[in-house]
Amino acid sequence: MTQIDEAVSPDHLEVSWRPSAEYIERSNLKRFMDRYGLRSFQELLGWSIDDVSRFWDAVSKDLELEWYTPYQQVLDLSRGIKWPRWWTGGSFNYVHNALDKYAATATGDKLALICEGEEGQLKKLTYGQLLEETNRCANALQALGIKKGDRVGLYLPMIPEVAIAQLALGKLGAIYSPIFSGFGAEAVAARLQDCEARLLITCDGIFRRGKLVTTKEFADEAVALSPSVQKVLVVSRAGRTDTPWHAQRDVWWHDAIAGQSTEFDTARTDPEDPYMIIYTSGTTGKPKGVVHVHGGFPIKGVQDMAHMFDVQPDDTFFWLTDMGWMMGPWLVSGTLMLGATVFLYDGTPDYPAPDRIWDMIERHRISVIGIAPTVIRALMRSGDEWVHKHDRSSLRVLGSSGEPWNPVPWRWFQQVVGLGRCPIINYSGGTEVSGGIVSCTVVTPQKPTSFAGPIPGIDADVVDDAGQPVRGAVGELVVRQPWPGITRGFWRDPERYEETYWSRLPDIWVHGDWATIDQDGYWYILGRSDDTIKVAGKRLGPAEVESAAVAHGGIAEAAAIGVPDPLKGEHVVVFCVPRGGANDARLPGEVSDAITRSLGKALKPERVLLVRELPKTRSGKIMRRVIRGVYLGADTGDLSSLENPTSLDEIRTVR
Q: Is the pLDDT of residue 153 over 70?
A: yes
CB atoms inside a 10 Å sphere around CB 109: 11
Cβ atoms 26, 62 nearer than 8 A:
no
17-26, 393-402, 404-413, 437-446: range with lowest mean pLDDT = 404-413
pLDDT surpasses 50 at 5: no
| Among 620, 610, 617, CA closest to 588 | 610
Region 268-274 average pLDDT: 98
The confidence band for 654, taking pLDDT boundaries of 50, 70 and 90, is confident
HSE, CB side, 13 Å, CA atoms: give it for residue 318: 25
Element (H, E) at 430: strand 424-430
Report, as an integer, the average pLDDT of 407-435: 95
Return the pLDDT at 645. 86
Give the C-alpha separation, 485 to 507, whole Å: 17
- The answer to whether residue 277 scores a pLDDT higher than 90 is yes
pLDDT of residue 9: 32
- Predicted pLDDT at 309: 98
Please give the average per-residue pLDDT across 501-522, as a whole number.
94
Q: What are the CA-CA distances from residue 94 to residues 45, 65, 91, 167, 642 (Å)?
A: 26, 9, 10, 9, 31
Task: Please state, in angstroms and rounded to a whole number, the distance separating the CA atoms of residues 301 and 248.
Answer: 39
Q: Is 565 helix (H, G, I), strand (E, B) or coil?
A: strand
φ and ψ of 94, to 5 deg: -65, -30
Which residues, other chains included, contact 37 with Cβ-Cβ below 8 Å and sequence gap of 6+? none
How far is 128 from 102, CA to CA, in rounded Å? Answer: 8
Confidence (pLDDT) at 47: 98
* pLDDT in the model for residue 72: 98
Report pLDDT digits (tens) over 449-490.
999 999 999 999 999 989 999 999 889 999 999 999 999 999
The reported pTM is 0.85
Tell me: pLDDT of 95 over 70: yes
25's CB contacts (< 8 A; 6+ apart) are none
281 close to 368: Cβ distance less than 8 angstroms? no
Residue 521 has pLDDT above 80, yes or no: yes
Which has more pLDDT, 10 or 631? 631
Class of residue 217 by CB neighbours under 10 A (exposed 0-12, middle 13-18, buried 19+): middle
Helix (H) or strand (E) holding 571: strand 569-578
Rounded CA-CA distance 393/411 in Å is: 18
- Using the predicted structure, report yes or no on whether residue 230 has a pLDDT greater than 60: yes
Split at pLDDT 50, 70, 90, the class of 398 is: very high
A 10 A CB-CB count for 225 gives 14
Q: What is the pLDDT of residue 583?
A: 75
Q: Is the pLDDT of residue 638 over 90?
A: no
Q: Cβ distance 199 to 152 under 8 Å? A: yes
Residue 619 pLDDT level (bands cut at 50, 70, 90): low
**Domains recognised in the chain with CATH numbers:** 11-100+271-525 (3.40.50.12780), 126-257 (3.40.50.980), 532-654 (3.30.300.30)
Nearest in space to 178 (alpha carbons), one of 253, 94, 280, 254: 280
Collapsed DSSP state (helix, strand, coil) of residue 291:
strand
Instruction: Determine the length of the chain.
Output: 655
**453-454 and 288-293 strand pairing:** unpaired
pLDDT of residue 365: 98
Residue 38's CB is within 10 A of a number of other CB atoms, namely: 20
Provide mean pLDDT across the span 609-620: 85
Q: Which residues lie closer than 8 Å to 50 by C-beta, 6 or more apart?
A: none
Q: What is the pLDDT of residue 6?
A: 33
- pLDDT reported for residue 553: 85
DSSP β-ladder status, 316-319 and 509-517: unpaired
Average pLDDT score over residue span 158-183: 96
Least confident range of 67-81, 185-199, 500-514, 609-623: 609-623
Q: Which residues of 596-634 are buried (b: 16+ CB within 10 A; e: fewer)?
A: eeebeeebbbeebbbbeebbbbbbbbbbbbbbbbbbeee
Alpha carbons 531 and 476: distance in angstroms, whole number = 12
pLDDT for position 332: 98
Residue 530 has pLDDT above 90, yes or no: no
Query: In this predicted structure, which of 14-28, 315-329, 628-642 has the lowest mean pLDDT?
Result: 628-642
For the residues 74-101, what does the mean pLDDT come to? 98
Residues with Cβ within 8 Å of 11's Cβ and at least 6 positions away in sequence, in order, are none
CA 409 to the chain's CA centroid: 19
pLDDT in tens, 535-545: 765 667 787 78
